Structure 1
Amino acid sequence: MSSAAEIDQPTTLPKGAPLGPGSLLWEYFGDHRLKLFFGRSGTLQNMHPAVSAALQQHSNFFDDPWDRLLRSVPRIEDSVYDPPESASAVRVRDYHRDIKGIDHHGQRYHALNPDIFWWTHVTFVETVMTMNEHFGTPLTDAQKRQLWAESVTWWERYGLSMQPVFGTYEEFRAYWSHMLAEELEANETTDFALRAAATPIPPVPGVPEWAWTVIRRPFMEFNVWLLAALMPERGREILGIEWNRLDQFDFRVFAGAVRTTWPLVPRPLRYDRRVYRKIRAAEKGLSWRPARAARWS
């Protein structure tokens, strides 16, 4: 597998941009609309052979996918919204220290290999751009460049090597195209995600067992369809996902409904409550207590 460093990497250290109140990552990363991308983002990450192997060998993903998702997302949000001195990003990094092994290609991997960690990082930033494309106002080229520079600052918080990092939106596009064209694959983990509607899985936390029995299949069918709708066309090809004109029409109607109604939602309700508290505290110049470290697997 090619490393990110091999794809026309600059020789100068990429420059970041301020990450905090007023930044684009702060405005969008805790936005509830990103939850519509959970299936898509996770699947794109898992199309990397090393990430897929790590899930198979070091997590309970196949037994309870909600557990890993609902424990991981708040910690990753903390790495953006907590002040850098809180070391929230360092804790996220350190949860991955013992995640290593051999993937199904016979290649050794370690979750803290910068090229592997970089791929997951890039998918989060790309999702913010795509969320605005489909469900909001598309970012301008200047905003995309700003967002990318902010993502460099976010990466620096992890304390990992800057070797795979590029500092411009244009370089990001080249890297994204390369990964889709050359590196990503269908595998056991992505197959599991696409079969989710037909696979018995535990209920979403907070949903009673009896209710889950009724809603599980239509709920999961919608989420698999949404995963397919949001997946890049090349990603659908890799995964063997069929997508037709009726699907595309239905998605345009759905996306239009989200775009139309979202501006009517009061600002506090657009974010997870814990994220909004951090946003408001920072805007008021107040401090807050960093989130308590949690076990990651």
Structure 2
Amino acid sequence: MAATRDTASAPVPPPPGPDPGLFGPASVTWQCHGDPIMWIAGVRALYLQALHPRAVRGVVENSDFRSDAWGRLLRTADFVGTVTYGTTEAAERAGAHVRRIHRALSATDPATGERFPVDDPGLLLWVHCAQIDSFLHVLRRSGVRLTAAQADRYVDENRAGARLVGLDPAQVPADAAALAAYFEKVRPELCAGPDARAVVAFLRSPPTPALLVPGRNLLWRPIAELAYGSLPGYAHRLYGRPAPPAPVITRRLRLTGTLLRSIPAGLRWQLPPGHILKAMRRMGPGSRPSAYTLRTPAAILDRPGRA
């Protein structure tokens, strides 16, 4: 009986809390990736990534992006949403799926004819850095006034996503200065060859059923042009087009950010696959992502269009 009483009186461990995933609501990434300006940032990343000859050749040889334009964009967004807001298991599963696909793929160097693996660490690092730079650049330029410390946290946090695609986090830039240094180092390798120009043409006018072409030209093309306009000066020089005036692009990004943020978040987040709504149900109402959560006296998101 004594043993029974001891067992009965032993403290019961609390039930496990909800799984925050790789980031969780306390992260800069969680709060910022719910911002609708991320769609423009994602398109900028594609323009930038296309400037690496091997990286873009890997896409051209192994992708059906020309015939499945919207599907490819949505799959990329789904991966980012899963990694940011999904459970740890879901994020790890998504990463394993990407690594498995990449391991089976190779492409031909357009300059040397050499075959190379798509999961070459140097290529994976370029794709990661171009994405993180684009996300951070467009967020801040559109009105999300992150402090320097928060920008560094964002870059550091996203080394978790780099690990998922097969990179060693220790070899990935951990702050904004290291990210800028990486681009200085890699710039001599970049050029705008035929593959890059094909990507640009595709992003400006993705294949669309004839009845939807007017809508594409009205809604999509301004987004694509704004994303292109936000590229760094060296990218404009490589593509051979004059860079638009920086103040003009900044004003347009701020206006676009304000307009997109004026759409009720609950409506925006209803779009499939609904990662943010699922995360909020899992983590509770306090997990609602908003860059306002990060604000300090020196870091305040523009008041118009609060999400």
Question: Could you say whether these structures have the same fold, taking a TM-score greater than 0.5 normalized by the shorter chain as the test?
Answer: yes
Partner of residue 151, structure 2: 144
Kept after mapping to 2: 8 A contact 1:228/1:243: no
Structure 1 window deviating more from structure 2 (107-116 vs 219-228): it is 219-228
- 1:53 and 2:39 aligned: no
Q: Distance in 2 between matches of 1:119 and 1:272?
A: 32
Percent identical residues = 21
Which structure has the greater CA radius of gyration?
A: 2
Kept after mapping to 1: 8 A contact 2:86/2:279: no
Kept after mapping to 2: 8 A contact 1:79/1:92: no
Deviations, residues 135-182 of structure 1 (Å, cap 9, x unaligned): 122221110111122112222334543463233332111002322x31
Q: Distance in 1 between matches of 2:54 and 2:270?
A: 30
Partner of residue 46, structure 2: 42
Q: 1:41-190 counterparts in 2 under 5 A?
A: 41-86=45-90, 87-106=93-112, 107-162=114-169, 164-179=171-186, 181-190=187-196
TM value normalised by structure 1: 0.76
Q: Distance in 2 between matches of 1:167 and 1:54?
A: 26
The letter of the residue matching 1:72 is: T
- 1:192 and 2:190 aligned: no
Deviations, residues 237-291 of structure 1 (Å, cap 9, x unaligned): 111122344xx56434422323444554434345464122233034229xxxxxx
Deviations, residues 94-135 of structure 1 (Å, cap 9, x unaligned): 221212122102243212112211211122222221122221
Structure 1 window deviating more from structure 2 (92-101 vs 216-225): it is 216-225
SS in 2 for 1:56: helix
Q: Distance in 2 between matches of 1:220 and 1:130?
A: 20
SS in 1 for 2:195: helix
Kept after mapping to 2: 8 A contact 1:39/1:224: yes
Change (3 A) 1:194 1:223: farther
Structure 1 window deviating more from structure 2 (150-159 vs 90-99): it is 150-159
Kept after mapping to 2: 8 A contact 1:28/1:128: no
Q: Distance in 2 between matches of 1:197 and 1:56?
A: 14
Q: Distance in 2 between matches of 1:96 and 1:259?
A: 34
Structure 2, gaps ≥5 residues long: 1-21, 286-307
Deviations, residues 223-243 of structure 1 (Å, cap 9, x unaligned): 442233111111101111223
Q: Distance in 1 between matches of 2:212 and 2:265?
A: 30
Superposed displacement of residue 53, structure 1 = 1.0
Kept after mapping to 2: 8 A contact 1:101/1:110: yes
Q: Distance in 2 between matches of 1:76 and 1:265?
A: 21
Kept after mapping to 1: 8 A contact 2:138/2:230: no
Change (3 A) 1:116 1:265: same
Q: Distance in 1 between matches of 2:235 and 2:46?
A: 13
The letter of the residue matching 2:103 is: R
The letter of the residue matching 1:123 is: A
Structure 1 window deviating more from structure 2 (113-122 vs 63-72): it is 63-72
Q: Distance in 1 between matches of 2:217 and 2:232?
A: 25
Partner of residue 278, structure 1: 278
Kept after mapping to 1: 8 A contact 2:49/2:55: yes
Change (3 A) 1:272 1:149: farther
SS in 1 for 2:171: coil
Change (3 A) 1:177 1:108: same
Change (3 A) 1:271 1:240: farther
Structure 1 window deviating more from structure 2 (260-269 vs 93-102): it is 260-269
